[in-house]
Structure 1
Amino acid sequence: MVTVNTPRRSLLRASVALACASLAGGAMAQGKPDIKLGQTMPYSGPASAYATIGKVEQAYFKKINDEGGINGHKINLISVDDGYSPPKAVEQARKLVEQDEVLAMFQPLGTPSNSAIHKYLNAKKVPQLFVATGASKWDDPKNFPWTFGFNLSYQTEGEIYARYLLKNKPNAKIAILYQNDDYGKDVLAGVKRVLSGDKAKMIIAEQTYEVTDPTVDSQILTLKASGADTLIDITTPKFAAQAVRKVYDSGWRPLHFLNNVGASVGSVLTPAGLDKSVDLVTVQYYKDATDPQWKDDPAMLEWRAFMARYYREGNVSDASNVYGYIAAQLMVQVLKQCGNDFSRENIRKQAESIKNFRPPLLLPGITLNTSATDHAPVKQGQLSKFNGTQWVLFGEVLGATGGK
């Protein structure tokens, strides 16, 4: 039997062949599917100084993708603005999970925003990984198994300040300024855990502020009028810069503790005035790019080369750009541990399996660890004093003495 190729049959075969070639080419172009992560970040609003964290993390994932990704998979971080507004964070998180179908949320920023999406993400069994806040509530795997903290616990930070005062200034008259939400109250709780009983009388004045307040000038003047000789300043960058400036300009010279999340040289101390920031004390757990002792440190040189290539507009004196880089490295470590199983369950399992992981920009002696009963990777920090140019570490690496 002879088959005759009619023009119509030839055209059909050609069309089928073209379609198959097109599909094959598309599949080859696509390669392995992306690892899709979601993130809410305050690109606007009162905490917008932190927006650089989302940008540096996107830049780091681009670097990883350029190097071949994670076992051939590229990381796609969808980072969206929530304006540091809890209702907006809920709206954006729902969109990321239900429309964009992200595998996990990575480093959503802010205690108020994360509190608003906490129950939702756990109900949906979506990993809420390494949130950019130090509230103690993120380390509650029994009730919220899909949520993981990242920052040094705010309560641990508060404990470290209070223990330093008990040892070095036991007769201190302490004033405290704090943000009126879970973040501020968590650092305060750490301070009061140590300064309890008869030591509680060391705290002689407290003032709060709302994130919607234009300034904290009046609170600073009220605290100064209390006669306090020590100030524990629990503020985010915008208000931290205001507080440092107002304390100095008012002629008040207390021993001034400035919490870690508001202690960036680039985004806080420079706007406040470096001369007005001398002798501030904070807690650090990663290297400060402005500290000359790390000038020739291999990890810092590598970070600077990364910034020059992937995030040129980023400020190398802004501590948030070191912070975000380390957090992104931890996320990459979790994804590497996943092998080829990028299910949400396995991502959670691997996030619980971090063992002595040490991104080289952490301070010496600090490592990251998690387990099924411990969702707080950072547990230690070291005190540091500002000398007018950079933070200078002193003392030893410290951790919490109380419970979680």
Structure 2
Amino acid sequence: MIARTLRPALLAMAITAFATGAALAQKKYDAGASDTEIRIGNTSPYSGPASSYGVIGKTEEAFFKMINDKGGINGRKIKFISYDDGYSPPKTVEQVRKLVESDEVLLVFSSIGTPTNSAIQKYLNSQKVPQLFVASGAKKWDDPNNFPWTMGFLLDFQTEAQIYAKWLMKEKPDAKIGILYQNDDFGKEYLRGVKDGLGAKASSMIMMEESYEVSEPSIDSHIIKLKAANPDVLMIFATIKSGAQAIKRTAELGWKPLQIINNGASFVSSVMKPAGFENAQGVLSAAYAKDGADPQWNDDPGMKRVYEFLDKYMPGADKTDGGIIHGYGVSQTLVKVLEMCGDDLTRANVMKQAASLRDYAPDTLLPGVKINTSSTSYAPITQLRMQRFKGDKWELFGDLLSRDAQRE
């Protein structure tokens, strides 16, 4: 009698357990994801004053093609939709609205520029669409309390500038500094970082601050004004074209200050080469990624994979272009995040997994540099090393430096 009573109860329990398990195993999707596809949106300056950075978007497109050729991510193919915004914030807003409302992408990935991303940050957060691995080092991308749907990728500009300033105070404490910076959020964050790094000595060490507009065809007049002040250190916080012009014009004037240029304008092929290798000798910068022009990485397993990718998917590409190295590394990191998402391809889970990276090292990062994120830290890269330009490539020196400019 008892056995007869138990059988239906056990059967009911089994059915319930099966149904619960099936529910747990059920795939979850938001707009932009399905059993077969993941749609990723992007804006890049394929035209306009920052068009040299367009190679990043082209590299990302080629990388995702490679991933698709290998079967995709958990069986799903990536559809990468990238629009030209010309480095114009109003155009960025227009294109991102199209990506979200018409193309219905799962996320917006690696859009380039500080002013451009600033223009779309509130919109994407209001729509709860991930603005993931922003291609800008502004500190504002690491603000999960106020902007939980936005995450940066690069070491932030202020920290990078603080490291330069603290290096100067140690190595050249009596330096007289002139600063050239782009007159927008990008340049102003570097300026702020230098002043923070110099602390009480900022007013005595900084002789002149000279800003330029990104729309200016030439920055020659600004370099001439800085030379007239005669600082012995010139800090250049610029985008690619203006960075190359600054180094070249400084040499043409016969002026020989110690020059420090920001990481994002230190690319060999698009900055140092146009400036003239002979003019760039001794210029300082900092790096967190490997330099494709440096033969020390020829036998590095990660860079071998990068070179194989370029040979097959971007034949003829300039391996010394830092934009290519960045595009590869950030794309590889996104693939890692999407793999971690499994069958839960909701926007909330994308951000959860992006904030759960532990000691992750894409093929492109320098030894010792690791990506770590959490729900309270949206700053994936926090380390770099100083480098000096010599011959036709950068040479690393010193120890690994972290966000607080202390040695690791």
Q: Which moved more, 1:194-203 or 1:120-129?
A: 194-203
Instruction: Give 2:117's match in structure 1, choosing from 90, 114, 125.
Output: 114
* Correspondence 1:234 to 2:237: yes
Quick one: which amino acid aligns to residue 254 of structure 1?
A: P
1:88-109 CA-to-partner distances (Å, cap 9, x unmatched) read 0000000000000000000000
Please report how far the alpha carbon of residue 401 of structure 1 lies from its aligned counterpart in structure 2 after TM superposition.
1.9
Instruction: Mark the CA change 1:110 to 1:199 in structure 2 (over 3 Å): closer, same or farther.
Output: closer
The answer to whether the Cα contact below 8 Å between 1:40 and 1:108 also exists between their aligned partners in 2 is yes
Task: Report the counterpart of residue 310 of structure 1 in structure 2.
Answer: 313
The answer to whether the Cα contact below 8 Å between 1:56 and 1:314 also exists between their aligned partners in 2 is no
User: Gapped runs of 5+ residues in structure 1?
Assistant: 1-30
Which residues of 2 match residues 211-226 of structure 1 at below 5 A? Answer: 211-226=214-229
CA distance in 2, matches of 1:258, 1:197: 23
Task: Report the counterpart of residue 204 of structure 2 in structure 1.
Answer: 201
CA distance in 2, matches of 1:291, 1:123: 44
* Corresponding residue SS for 1:239: helix
Quick one: which amino acid aligns to residue 92 of structure 1?
A: Q
Instruction: Give 1:319's match in structure 2, choosing from 313, 322, 325.
Output: 322
Please report how far the alpha carbon of residue 190 of structure 1 lies from its aligned counterpart in structure 2 after TM superposition.
1.1
Task: Report the counterpart of residue 127 of structure 2 in structure 1.
Answer: 124
Please report how far the alpha carbon of residue 188 of structure 1 lies from its aligned counterpart in structure 2 after TM superposition.
1.2
* Corresponding residue SS for 2:150: coil
Which residues of 2 match residues 293-308 of structure 1 at below 5 A? Answer: 293-308=296-311
Task: Report the counterpart of residue 61 of structure 1 in structure 2.
Answer: 64
1:186-233 CA-to-partner distances (Å, cap 9, x unmatched) read 111111101122443100001001111111101111111101000110
* Correspondence 1:344 to 2:338: no
CA distance in 1, matches of 2:97, 2:317: 30
Please report how far the alpha carbon of residue 399 of structure 1 lies from its aligned counterpart in structure 2 after TM superposition.
1.5
Task: Report the counterpart of residue 292 of structure 1 in structure 2.
Answer: 295
CA distance in 2, matches of 1:266, 1:291: 12
Task: Report the counterpart of residue 13 of structure 1 in structure 2.
Answer: none
1:346-379 CA-to-partner distances (Å, cap 9, x unmatched) read 1111111111101132111110011111111000
User: Gapped runs of 5+ residues in structure 2?
Assistant: 1-33
* Correspondence 1:360 to 2:397: no
Please report how far the alpha carbon of residue 295 of structure 1 lies from its aligned counterpart in structure 2 after TM superposition.
1.8
The answer to whether the Cα contact below 8 Å between 1:127 and 1:147 also exists between their aligned partners in 2 is yes
* Corresponding residue SS for 1:195: helix
CA distance in 2, matches of 1:209, 1:198: 25
Task: Report the counterpart of residue 277 of structure 2 in structure 1.
Answer: 274
Q: When the two structures are aligned, how many residues end up with a matched partner?
A: 372
Instruction: Give 1:334's match in structure 2, choosing from 337, 342, 345.
Output: 337
Quick one: which amino acid aligns to residue 186 of structure 2?
A: Y
CA distance in 2, matches of 1:40, 1:281: 30
Instruction: Give 1:83's match in structure 2, choosing from 81, 86, 105.
Output: 86
CA distance in 1, matches of 2:211, 2:296: 37
* Corresponding residue SS for 1:377: coil
Task: Report the counterpart of residue 148 of structure 1 in structure 2.
Answer: 151
Task: Report the counterpart of residue 104 of structure 1 in structure 2.
Answer: 107
The answer to whether the Cα contact below 8 Å between 2:112 and 2:134 also exists between their aligned partners in 1 is yes
Task: Report the counterpart of residue 264 of structure 1 in structure 2.
Answer: 267
Quick one: which amino acid aligns to residue 368 of structure 2?
A: G
Q: Which moved more, 1:139-148 or 1:356-365?
A: 356-365
Please report how far the alpha carbon of residue 292 of structure 1 lies from its aligned counterpart in structure 2 after TM superposition.
1.6
**Larger % of strand: which?**
2
CA distance in 2, matches of 1:348, 1:108: 16
Task: Report the counterpart of residue 28 of structure 2 in structure 1.
Answer: none
* Corresponding residue SS for 2:374: coil
The answer to whether the Cα contact below 8 Å between 2:177 and 2:233 also exists between their aligned partners in 1 is yes
Please report how far the alpha carbon of residue 43 of structure 1 lies from its aligned counterpart in structure 2 after TM superposition.
0.3
Quick one: which amino acid aligns to residue 353 of structure 2?
A: Q
* Corresponding residue SS for 1:325: helix
The answer to whether the Cα contact below 8 Å between 2:305 and 2:363 also exists between their aligned partners in 1 is no
CA distance in 1, matches of 2:58, 2:204: 44
Pairwise CA RMSD of aligned residues? 1.0
Quick one: which amino acid aligns to residue 167 of structure 2?
A: Y
The answer to whether the Cα contact below 8 Å between 2:63 and 2:328 also exists between their aligned partners in 1 is yes
* Corresponding residue SS for 2:73: coil
Task: Report the counterpart of residue 11 of structure 1 in structure 2.
Answer: none
Quick one: which amino acid aligns to residue 194 of structure 1?
A: G
Task: Report the counterpart of residue 5 of structure 1 in structure 2.
Answer: none
* Correspondence 1:392 to 2:400: no
The answer to whether the Cα contact below 8 Å between 1:80 and 1:92 also exists between their aligned partners in 2 is yes
CA distance in 2, matches of 1:357, 1:96: 29
1:43-81 CA-to-partner distances (Å, cap 9, x unmatched) read 000000000000001111111111111110011110110
TM-score, normalised to structure 2, is: 0.90
CA distance in 2, matches of 1:351, 1:309: 29
Task: Report the counterpart of residue 178 of structure 1 in structure 2.
Answer: 181
The answer to whether the Cα contact below 8 Å between 1:353 and 1:371 also exists between their aligned partners in 2 is yes
The answer to whether the Cα contact below 8 Å between 1:52 and 1:314 also exists between their aligned partners in 2 is no
User: What percentage of aligned pairs have identical amino acids?
Assistant: 52
Task: Report the counterpart of residue 159 of structure 1 in structure 2.
Answer: 162
1:138-173 CA-to-partner distances (Å, cap 9, x unmatched) read 000000000000111101110110011000000000
Please report how far the alpha carbon of residue 33 of structure 1 lies from its aligned counterpart in structure 2 after TM superposition.
2.6
4+ long deviations beyond 4 Å: none
Instruction: Give 2:404's match in structure 1, choosing from 397, 401, 404.
Output: 401
Quick one: which amino acid aligns to residue 315 of structure 1?
A: D
CA distance in 2, matches of 1:124, 1:330: 24
CA distance in 2, matches of 1:352, 1:296: 32
Please report how far the alpha carbon of residue 297 of structure 1 lies from its aligned counterpart in structure 2 after TM superposition.
1.4
* Correspondence 1:43 to 2:46: yes
CA distance in 2, matches of 1:381, 1:72: 36
